[in-house]
Amino acid sequence: SQQGEEDPQALSIQEGENATMNCSYKTSINNLQWYRQNSGRGLVHLILIRSNEREKHSGRLRVTLDTSKKSSSLLITASRAADTASYFCATGFQGAQKLVFGQGTRLTINP
């Protein structure tokens, strides 16, 4: 079954606005990670939040995790044109090393 379903699938906002992307998953997790992929490039790790954490910050990024709802959100504040990319959530499981990715959210920041 598919884990880590992001929504929306695509998001277009003006530079300077905040962008929020959501991720839902189906089974118990050990951690949840967010990655960014710029066009034609590899996946860049943004942030990891463990299952016993509820919120985490890194620069302009804020991630929340609600294990009761099996959902996470990624907030990017004061967006910049360089934030234009696809964003993926990926879930990790206890005792397993593989990550399960969602289909991603395509974020476009308009100047």
Partner 1 sequence: EAGVTQFPSHSVIEKGQTVTLRCDPISGHDNLYWYRRVMGKEIKFLLHFVKESKQDESGMPNNRFLAERTGGTYSTLKVQPAELEDSGVYFCASSQRVEKTEAFFGQGTRLTVV
Which positions touch partner 1 (CB under 8 A)?
2, 4, 30-31, 33, 35, 41-45, 48, 88, 90, 92, 96-104
Query: Which residue's CB is nearer to partner 1, number 19 or number 90?
Result: 90
How far is 99 from 85, CA to CA, in rounded Å? 20
* Backbone φ and ψ of 81, nearest 5°: -55, -35
Question: What's the closest the beta carbon of residue 101 comes to partner 1, in angstroms?
Answer: 4
Query: Which residue's CB is nearer to partner 1, number 29 or number 79?
Result: 29
DSSP category for residue 82 = G
How far is 17 from 59, CA to CA, in rounded Å? 15
Question: What's the closest the beta carbon of residue 6 comes to partner 1, in angstroms?
Answer: 9
